[in-house]
Amino acid sequence: MNERVHVKVPRTAKQGEVIRVMTKLNHPMESGWRRRQDGEIVPKDLIGEFSCEFGGAEVFKAEFDSGTSGNPYLSFFVRVNNSGRFRFIWSGQNGERYYKEAEIEVI
Amino acid sequence: MLNRRQLLLICGAWAAAGFPLGGLVGSAQAGPRDAKKRLAELTGGVKPQKGRISITLPKVTDQGRFVPIRISVDSPMNEQDYVRAIHVVAERNPTPEVASFHLSPANGKAQVSTRIRLLKTQVVVVAAEMSDGSVYLGKGRSKITGGAGGCG
């Protein structure tokens, strides 16, 4: 289970630096477009929401829909002014949730 | 976890069993009109302007299931002027919604990269909502060769 979530955050940064955060979750992201061999549609199974918190405040949020690829990868930028902890939360439409945390130190 | 050899074996078995690899494509396709409607819903019907958005998409790709896209919006990202949200819509997918990103001044740079599904050659429309309520529109095009691409 632990290998489902991949997060890349630099360990240190300068004050006020804009850092790049890369995240990936291993998940099929079934789009609801696909048919099985017997003609039945494979039901939707998506990670609907992703959010990134830094120091307790939400800094980035994404909503995924059918058009997002499986194993949703995302990279975005965050400005860090002080050392703190990133928290990444993926919430699925079927109620599943995945978490990951990462720390960054401002030098 | 599958390794490469097992994966190849499974793919081969699939092909041998007569699975149509292009069977991913749904029957109902959305059109540009649906996409426009969806965008209007997302942005609250504000008349969009052109510019400020740059989209990086591969010109040609044979992997429609994983198309890398990079969206960057020209914005200072400070408290007075920042990008509030970025919406991505693919016109000719069975359902046009791709993803929405909600940004804040804490991001420092309005750039997002992700991977999207494009079932055929089409235009990807990106709308950026600014903090002052204006909406900017950008378009990118990618040619998809080889059906829906790959195993499963």
Q: What is the ipTM of this complex?
A: 0.89
* Alpha-carbon distance A74 to nearest alpha carbon in chain B (angstroms): 5
Asked if B115 and A79 come within 8 Å (Cβ–Cβ), the reply is no
* DSSP per residue, chain B: ---HHHHHHHHHHHHHTT--GGGGS-S----HHHHHHHHHHHHTTPPPEE-SEEEE--SEES-TT-EEEEEEE----SSSS-EEEEEEEETTSSS-EEEEEE--GGGSS-EEEEEE--SSSEEEEEEEEETTS-EEEEEEEEEE-STT-S--
Asked if A67 and B98 come within 8 Å (Cβ–Cβ), the reply is yes
* Alpha-carbon distance B50 to nearest alpha carbon in chain A (angstroms): 23
B150 Cβ contact list (under 8 Å, min separation 6):
B21, B63, B65
* Alpha-carbon distance A58 to nearest alpha carbon in chain B (angstroms): 9
B34-70: pLDDT as tens digits:
888 888 888 887 888 888 899 999 998 888 888 999 9
- Residue B3 within any structural domain of the chain: no
Better-predicted residue by pLDDT, B13 or B24: B13
Tell whether the torsion through CA atoms of B88, A8, A70 and B22 is positive or negative: positive
Q: How many domains does chain A fold into?
A: 1
**Least CB–CB distance from B117: residue in A37, A57, A67:** A67
- Give me the pLDDT at residue B5, please: 66
- Residue B10 within any structural domain of the chain: no
B78-126: pLDDT as tens digits:
889 999 999 999 988 888 889 999 999 999 899 999 999 988 888 999 9
| CATH code (residue A93) | 2.60.40.10
- Residue B52 within any structural domain of the chain: yes
Asked if B65 and A69 come within 8 Å (Cβ–Cβ), the reply is yes
| CATH code (residue B109) | 2.60.40.2470
Chain A touched by B83 (CB under 8 Å): no
B1-21: pLDDT as tens digits:
556 666 555 545 555 444 444
Which range marks the domain in which residue A52 is found? 2-106
